[in-house]
Amino acid sequence: MLTLFHHPFCPHSRFVRLVLEELGLATRLVEERVWDRREEFLMLNPAGTTPVLVEEGMPPVPGAAIIAEYLDETRGAKLPQPRLMPRDPGPRIEVRRLMSWFNDKFFAEVSGPLTTERFYKRHMPVATGGGSPDKPIGLVHFAVAAARSGKIVHREQRYGDIGRAQVRQASVLHALTMLQELADGEDTPN
């Protein structure tokens, strides 16, 4: 059985959970709080980041893109069409571009700061950067508009669709945190 070390609010972990669900793979989920820097987890992934996929007899597979490629290589060929990763090289390049956009650029500019400021910091010790949010997150609306444009996402790309679902989830998370802040009497982020 596969084991996924993840965090529920980690966008990269969310991407991998969506992929695993699309593939119909039974997976044991282990929540990892990366800010705790557990020795056992660091042995699996010295970078200390989630997600990490573990399968018996194989080395740990770290990172969303590497996990997606691994799952395609080990499970994708056995699936009927449409696979999450196309068979032909040209479309594969486009899928990799989309995965990079969502998992790298979108993470760096939107979902990473959003999850860090609105979720992780509330659970992290102050000594490791925890505490209340200290910067407003207002880029989600731009990202949603950009993802809806035909220039970023092509409908026939399955991994691209999963990345697009992440944009929608990030915008919902942003809206929920704003509502929670209003209920708690905090100022609304810009």
Show me where the domains of the chain are located.
Answer: 2-78, 89-184
pLDDT (tens digit, 9 = 90+) per residue, 71-104? 988 887 777 665 777 778 888 888 888 888 887 8
Residue 153 is predicted with a pLDDT of: 42
2-6 and 27-31 beta bridge pairing: parallel
CA–CA gap between residue 40 and residue 24 (Å, rounded):
28
89-184 has which fold? Glutathione S-transferase Yfyf (Class Pi); Chain A, domain 2 (1.20.1050)
Structure tokens at 8: 């529920």
Q: Of 78-92, 133-147, 158-172, which one has max mean pLDDT?
A: 78-92
Q: What is the CA radius of gyration of the chain?
A: 17
Which carries the bigger pLDDT value, residue 163 or residue 18?
A: 18
* Confidence category of residue 150, pLDDT binned at 50, 70, 90: very low
* Confidence category of residue 189, pLDDT binned at 50, 70, 90: very low
* Confidence category of residue 165, pLDDT binned at 50, 70, 90: low
pLDDT (tens digit, 9 = 90+) per residue, 100-138? 888 787 777 777 777 777 777 777 777 777 766 665 555
pLDDT above 90 (res 22): no
Residue 105 is predicted with a pLDDT of: 79
2-78 has which fold? Glutaredoxin (3.40.30)
For 53, list phi and psi in degrees, rounded to 5: -100, 135
Q: Find the mean pLDDT for residues 142-171.
A: 52
Asked whether the whole model's pTM tops 0.75, one would answer no
